[in-house]
Structure formats: C-alpha cells, structure tokens
C-alpha cells in the first residue's frame, strides 16, 4: 500500500479501532465482574469465564478491525499439561492462548495484580506473581509454585523474553522457565506468532490482516540442563519467527 493509500485509510482504521476498544472495555468489565463473583467456584469454572472473555474479544476484533488469525501445529499440543513458552509482541496472544490449552497459571509481574478490574480478575485465575527484582528468590518462587500448579494439571504460561518485543526484534530469553522445566521434567510447548505487526504495542490503531500463530513440537526436558532447554526453545521460536515475520526492523 502506498503512503497516500495508507493516509486515506487511516480514518477508517481509527474508527474501527475505536469500536474495538469500546467493545473490549465492555467485555473486560463484565467478565472481570463475573470472575470476582465466581470466587467460590473451582479454577476450571473460572477458566470457562476467561475463555468466554477471550472468544468474545477475538470475535469482536474480527468484526470491528477485520483482523483474523490462522493457526498451525495444534496437533503438537501434549495431552499432559506442561509449560508454554510464547513469543510476546502484543496483548493479542494473552487472549488467544486459552483457545487450545486448558486451565492455565500465568507467570506475571506482581504489579499487574494491582491494576483495577483487570488485575483483580487476573488474581482469580491463580497466577504466579513474581517480584522480578528479587533475582534468585523469584526463580525459587517460580519453581515452587510452578511445581504445585503442574501437579494440579495446570499449564504454566511464560513469556521467556519477559516483556513485549517489536516485530523483527528479539529480547533476552530468561532462564527461569527453563529452570522450572529442568527441576520438574515438564515439557515445553514453544509458540511463535506475528501479532505485533497488526496489534502493535502501545498503539491505538489495529491493522487488518491475518495473524500467523505456530505451535511447535513439544520439547522433552528430561535429563537436560536449563541452559540447553532454553537454547532449544529459543532456537525453535526465533527460527519460526524468521519465517512468519513480514515487517522487518533494525531495532
């Protein structure tokens, strides 16, 4: 699309994005309120509400912004819950992951639980909330609580780069999730996607198109050191990102 075409399309994209954000805010408030009321229910029931919120949002994104997705690799998902290592580029992947994985415990920054409404709803989903400034203590907490949740059949969702990375860039992969895998023997399911090209971080406007999401073969972690596990997961994710990324950057 030429620069002139992009500029002429911007008002329409902006209007579509306004409609999306209005719907997203409504869905989030309603489902967060329902989650707060669901505290007597088991996690499985609360997860059903979370999945409903995700499906409503993704469906509205398709209608309002003409942004859809296509997935490959669902046949690679293990029957037993393990650890998910996902690329992190936008908010989109936080919505879509519970489409294919059952009840989940997210590894998040502790401060996210303090966000009004959103954080309260997140707290109801039994996350592993870390104070990442504590170094080894945070890793020990991740291993202790991660083992407990895996024993209960929960998937552990980790963004190994720790924060969102722009399309075409790569953050430093952190060792914590790999240490959890080393000490528990849980498998790792690597996930790559290019959502940041259409739902950029810190940007209001959503671009139309089709997000590509790839679910990789399960990584067996038994008898492997954490560094080896991390390197294997990083190699698969970044190799797949090189194939599906269309927007390159020198950052």
Q: Tell me the pLDDT tens digit for each residue of 197-247.
A: 999 888 899 999 999 999 999 999 999 999 999 999 999 999 999 999 886
What residue ranges do the domains of the chain occupy? 68-244
DSSP string, 215-228: EPPPBP-TT--HHH
Q: Is the pLDDT of residue 23 over 50?
A: yes
What predicted TM-score, i.e. pTM, was given to this entire model? 0.87
Q: Is 175 helix (H, G, I), strand (E, B) or coil?
A: coil
The alpha carbon torsion through 70, 73, 77, 83 (nearest 10 deg) reads -80
Q: Is 140 helix (H, G, I), strand (E, B) or coil?
A: helix
pLDDT band at 2 (very low <50, low <70, confident <90, very high): very low
Is there a contact between 27 and 91 (Cβ–Cβ < 8 Å)?
Answer: no
Q: Is the pLDDT of residue 69 over 50?
A: yes
pLDDT band at 6 (very low <50, low <70, confident <90, very high): very low
Residue 101 has what DSSP assignment? S
Residue 206 has what DSSP assignment? P
- How far, in Å, CA of 184 to CA of 12, rounded? 50
pLDDT in tens, 100-158: 998 888 888 887 777 776 777 777 778 888 876 667 888 898 999 999 999 999 999 99
The alpha carbon torsion through 98, 82, 73, 56 (nearest 10 deg) reads 0
């Amino acid at each position: 699309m030429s620069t002139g075409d992009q500029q002429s399309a911007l008002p329409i994209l902006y209007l579509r994005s306004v409609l999306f954000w209005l719907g997203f805010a409504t869905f989030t408030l309603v489902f967060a309120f329902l989650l707060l009321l669901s505290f007597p229910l088991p996690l499985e029931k609360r997860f059903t509400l979370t999945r409903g919120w995700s499906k409503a949002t993704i469906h509205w994104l398709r209608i309002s912004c003409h942004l859809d997705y296509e997935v490959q690799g669902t046949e690679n998902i293990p029957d037993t819950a393990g650890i998910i290592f996902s690329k992190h580029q936008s908010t989109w992947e936080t919505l879509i992951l519970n489409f294919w994985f059952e009840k989940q415990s997210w590894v998040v920054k502790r401060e996210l639980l303090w966000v009004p409404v959103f954080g309260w709803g997140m707290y109801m989903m039994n996350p592993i909330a870390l104070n990442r400034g504590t170094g080894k203590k945070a890793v020990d907490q991740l291993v202790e609580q991660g083992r407990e949740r895996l024993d209960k059949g929960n998937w552990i969702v980790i963004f190994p780069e720790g924060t969102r990375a722009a399309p075409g860039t790569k953050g430093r992969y952190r060792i914590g999730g790999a240490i959890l895998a080393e000490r528990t023997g849980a498998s790792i399911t690597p996930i790559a996607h290019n959502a940041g090209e259409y739902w950029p971080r810190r940007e209001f406007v959503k671009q139309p198109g089709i997000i590509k999401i790839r679910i990789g073969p399960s990584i067996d972690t038994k008898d492997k050191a954490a560094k080896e596990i991390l390197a294997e997961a990083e190699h698969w994710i970044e190799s797949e990102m090189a194939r599906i990324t269309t927007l390159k950057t020198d950052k």
